[in-house]
Structure 1
Amino acid sequence: MKTEKNGYTLRKFILDIHLWLGVGSGLILFIVCLSGTLYTFRNEIVQAVEAQAYHVTPPATGQPLPAATLVSRLEQAYPASKVVGLGIPADAERAWTFSLTTREALARQLAEEKAEQQAGGKPGGEGHKRGGKEGRGGKGGKRGNQDSQTLLVNPYTAAVQGNTETGVSEFFRSVMGLHRWLLIEGGVGQLLVGSATLIFIVLQLTGLALWAPAKLKQWSKWKMWRPGFVIKTNASPKRLNHDLHNTLGFYALGLLTVMSLTGLCWSFEWYRDGLSSVLGAKVFGGRGEKPLPSAVPATTGQTLSADDYLALANRQLAYPGDVRLNLPKGPEGSASVQKTKTGFFALAGTDRLTLDQYSGAVLKADIFAAKPFNEQLTSLIKPLHTGEVAGTFSKILYFLACLIATSLPITGVIIWLNKRQKSNRRPARRAAAPEAIARPAAVGRPA
């Protein structure tokens, strides 16, 4: 008769940690991973659904109107507002975006900034502290800003085709709110998501330990590793579910770890500051940073146009890509141009130029390739989290990894339920065994 060993091993301890942390955080992780999966291709989905607003047909000449002409026509059509920025996609069949702010709100903002400078304040400090709630405006992620709007404009005709405040974009803002703070205001949701992400990192480490062969002496044998790489599609439903959890979890492990480690930057300020110290460069360091001031001439000077800024930037950054131009907001302000390469494998490193609005002189050049590695890494925190770090290629990989992560709580719970059913059947079998032994004696007993 074989005796069962009841020793509590290290592997059993790791299994218990993996099990109970997974069961406890499973619902939150499912919501976070599902919303992350939906959000991966948000831009492509919005542009496909709202094609009438985002798509344009280039004329035979293929040349858009001058940017200054487009700015002038928009400000004539919206006299209460001023164009403060425009986005020029590399795709010639995409509408340009123009950001407008009411002149009243702009004057108020400039007055507040001037008062802050006179008081010796540090602009941008609060923007860093609010890093965990970026893009958050109200319940469900609504912006609720009546002072600003972003219009979609046909650059060949100057026709306004729509704005970015559509039902689809509102849906994805709610998806982002669900992903970041579970649509729970007051910081509670952010804390829950951050805590679940920390647990998810532990689950990945314990899952890797459970995925590997149980004994060190088995590590030298390929046949002991092979089951962890293969999904047996012709196996029983229980085995198939186990393989889906085990094997797919292993394949997605690397990307899920990157997503988790970068995602914590939005959840906890202590983590963000600690990561900045470890990397030797500020995470979200440029957020809220105001452009350098222009050198105001002694006599009234002629400011450059939007086309002048774009021409200067294209000479400095001579490659195709998406361009974002932020126009000066006041007589002492400067213009800034951001350019990002596009393509299936394009690295999401952004180059930025700050230009004097009177002379066009480059006040600051923030070139991604010229940065040291640690600063490049911190500037890529967001695309590393969202999957945009290497163009469409990485977004596809991230989408698949997020889809796997969404399935892990489900397959994990099924494994747990199967084990509970199995353990519940064991006492019943043990209780039935004495009865089965006694029956022959009862049959053979004389009446």
Structure 2
Amino acid sequence: MGKSKTYGIRAFINDVHLWLGLTSGIIIFLVCLSGTILTFEKEIEQWFKEEMKVQATGNKISLSQIVDDPNIQAKGQLMAITVPTDNAAPYQLSIKEDPKQRRGSTYEVNPYTAEILAPQKTGMDDFMFSMFKLHRWLLMDIELGRPIVGIATIIFLILSISGIVLWFPKKVKWKTVKAGFKIKTSANWKRINHDLHNTLGFYSCLLILIMGITGLCWSFEGYRDGLSSLMGAKVFGNRGAQPKVDLENLKGDKAIDLEQAVLLANNTLDYNGTLTITLPNEKNPVYGFRKIADDSWSTVAQDQLQIHTSGKIIHKELYADKPLNVKIASAIRPIHTGEIYGTFSKWLYFLACLIGTSLPITGTIIYINKLKKKSKRRRKLATA
């Protein structure tokens, strides 16, 4: 009699990988597919919209005139203005058209004529919003869909880790390990499918882990708070601890206008870069500024400044001075979406997400082929 096979740790990991993959495959497929599409969400939406062209002739209209323009005021509450360094680029205005809006709508304005280009609504906007809801909630009610996506994400993390363990051969030698780095295109379709699952899964694993670990911050508040505690910095926090300022004592007879505040901000943050201005209001008489250098290596490397309407700088925060944990915690969203390093990282995430979309398919095909193989063996034994 032959020796019976023992059920070892590798067999256990293989079974965990198999059954978790089969039970969560459809959800993982949908989440990864929508994530792949959303990687270039802004770029795709922009392809379907008419680009506003600005002719840099004469002098620009002052920001104060734009803020006070009746046509702009009629749109709603102006929340912020983004001023690019390119003289041929329009200003971007964030306007809350309805008090119930969480975020304002973005309008483009010609800085030389104050001509307004309203946000163009296309079918692609609706499609992308559907992809967003699919990615976050599976098109379900938020309270139901969010935890389901969260649980599927946890399963995907387990699949990624177990997949790496299974990627290594039983006997680790360079000859056997090397085979896992490439797809044998000359083999039959079953072997090619196996290599697509095994090899592409290996190459995309690190980014899939990063996307999964960060993605859970949207699914579970407790996880987000725990990660914040572990890192020693608030996840989604976009600025460090700010000093408490007695705004009443800063009130003076004379207040600086918007142009003076912008001049002071640009002198303080003395480099070429896109400036985003948050306007003061009755409750908070403070100009807020965020500036990012044109040659910045990262989309989140923004310096921040707050200037009281009296002209006093009450808070200054340079990105370079932030501790590493604060930088990471405040960049969870762009780390998750791939925007962290601009177009370069977006392409890497796009490919990783595309591979993630394929893994449930190739994995299921591997399982079906194994079932067919076992069925053939049983038939042979039955007829022997």
Indicate whether the TM-score tops 0.5. yes
Pair 298,5 (structure 1): closer, same or farther in 2 beyond 3 Å: closer
Among candidates 158, 174, 181, match of residue 114 of structure 2: 158
Superposition pairs for residues 83-232 of structure 1, below 5 Å? 83-101=78-96, 105=99, 145=101, 149-163=105-119, 165-215=121-171, 219=172, 221-232=173-184
Pair 308,423 (structure 1): closer, same or farther in 2 beyond 3 Å: farther
- Map of 1:130 onto structure 2: none
Distance 1:169 1:312 in 2: 38
TM-score where L is the length of structure 1: 0.78
- CA contact 1:150–1:164 (8 Å) conserved in 2: no
- CA contact 1:296–1:358 (8 Å) conserved in 2: no
Which stretch shifts more, 150-159 or 11-20? 150-159
User: How far does residue 331 in structure 1 lie from its aligned partner after superposition?
Assistant: 6.0
- Map of 2:292 onto structure 1: 340
Distance 1:5 1:147 in 2: 64
- Map of 1:381 onto structure 2: 332
| Number of residue-to-residue matches in the alignment | 382
SS of the residue aligned with 1:99? strand
Letter in 1 for 2:52: H
Which stretch shifts more, 309-318 or 205-214? 309-318
Cα deviation digits, residues 362-385 of structure 1 (max 9, x gap):
211222210111111111111110
Cα deviation digits, residues 301-346 of structure 1 (max 9, x gap):
33421x3333222223233433321101226421111123456943
Residue 431 of structure 1 pairs with residue 372 of structure 2: no
Among candidates 313, 337, 349, match of residue 265 of structure 2: 313
Pair 92,28 (structure 1): closer, same or farther in 2 beyond 3 Å: farther
Residue 410 of structure 1 pairs with residue 366 of structure 2: no
Identity of aligned residues (%): 41
- Map of 2:36 onto structure 1: 37
Structure of higher CA gyration radius:
1
Letter in 1 for 2:82: G
Structure 2, gaps ≥5 residues long: none
- Map of 2:6 onto structure 1: 7
SS of the residue aligned with 1:322? strand
- Map of 1:302 onto structure 2: 255
User: How far does residue 408 in structure 1 lie from its aligned partner after superposition?
Assistant: 0.8
Superposition pairs for residues 314-329 of structure 1, below 5 Å? 314-329=266-281
User: How far does residue 35 in structure 1 lie from its aligned partner after superposition?
Assistant: 1.0
Pair 101,208 (structure 1): closer, same or farther in 2 beyond 3 Å: closer
Distance 2:170 2:80 in 1: 59
Distance 1:64 1:180 in 2: 42
SS of the residue aligned with 1:252? helix
Distance 1:248 1:301 in 2: 64
Distance 1:293 1:148 in 2: 29
Letter in 2 for 1:381: I
Residue 395 of structure 1 pairs with residue 360 of structure 2: no
Pair 5,282 (structure 1): closer, same or farther in 2 beyond 3 Å: same
Superposition pairs for residues 280-295 of structure 1, below 5 Å? 280-286=232-238, 294-295=247-248
Pair 147,34 (structure 1): closer, same or farther in 2 beyond 3 Å: closer
Letter in 1 for 2:359: L
- CA contact 1:304–1:358 (8 Å) conserved in 2: no
SS of the residue aligned with 1:335? strand
Among candidates 65, 72, 96, match of residue 69 of structure 1: 65
Pair 170,316 (structure 1): closer, same or farther in 2 beyond 3 Å: farther
Cα deviation digits, residues 204-224 of structure 1 (max 9, x gap):
110000001213xxx2x2101
Letter in 1 for 2:383: A
- Map of 1:26 onto structure 2: 25
Letter in 1 for 2:92: T
Pair 76,312 (structure 1): closer, same or farther in 2 beyond 3 Å: same
SS of the residue aligned with 1:187? helix
Cα deviation digits, residues 176-232 of structure 1 (max 9, x gap):
2211111211411000011011111100110000001213xxx2x210111110111
Residue 59 of structure 1 pairs with residue 69 of structure 2: no
Letter in 2 for 1:100: I
Residue 246 of structure 1 pairs with residue 198 of structure 2: yes
Pair 416,342 (structure 1): closer, same or farther in 2 beyond 3 Å: farther
Letter in 2 for 1:59: A
SS of the residue aligned with 2:287? strand
SS of the residue aligned with 1:421? helix
Letter in 2 for 1:81: G
